[in-house]
Amino acid sequence: MAINPPTDIVSDVLKAADPSTMEVARARLNAGQAAMQAQRLASSDASFDAAVAREHIRSNAHLNSADRKEIPESYRKFEGMVLSSMLKSMMPDSEEIYGKGATGEIWKGMMAEQLGNEMSKNGGIGIAEKLTEGGATRTRTKEAAEANRSDRLHMATQVIEENQMRALDKFLPVDRKDKKA
């Protein structure tokens, strides 16, 4: 018993095709491949340019890791918070990207927070540096903190007593004759 396979449709079409039409189709395919190869080369050039730009940023003295160590972590976190707030307001309101409802807002906020923190770790926009330059860092010794403790307690007590007096004035009736005197 012999097997008779059906004919190959592609080879049947090629045999029936006009040779000039076939040459035009081959030329179009070759041109498409050439265009794809040119696009690949262009993208590799772009990636090379991006790598050079990243290396320039890394070598920049402003973003050098030695400079970043001098800036307190709390300032970096503050800058990250500011950046995440700014980024969140700039992000699109899209249910396709983040999801619907409260869950989508949570994902959007988490994404903005991560982006802001990463930007801050890699130099940010200079908020932390400006805070450091402006003398916002105060290193207090334990002795200085203890010396100020009594002054701060006295001020706190005064504020509390003042608020208590205002609250009492609202609840207790005031005699008109005492108020005039």
- What pLDDT sits at residue 83? 92
Tokens standing for 50? 């991006």
DSSP state of 7: P
- For residue range 131-155, list pLDDT tens digits in order: 888 765 555 566 777 777 888 888 8
- What pLDDT sits at residue 33? 84
**How many helices (H) and strands (E) in the chain?**
9, 0
**Closest alpha carbon to 56 in 68, 67, 48:** 48
3: left (phi over 0), alpha (psi -120 to 50) or beta: beta
- Report, as an integer, the average pLDDT of 55-66: 55
Q: What is the pTM of this model?
A: 0.41
Domain boundaries along the sequence of the chain: 25-59, 71-137, 142-174
Place of tokens 């989508």: 104
Computed over every residue of the chain, the mean pLDDT equals: 77
Cβ partners under 8 Å of residue 124, min gap 6: 76, 79, 80, 83
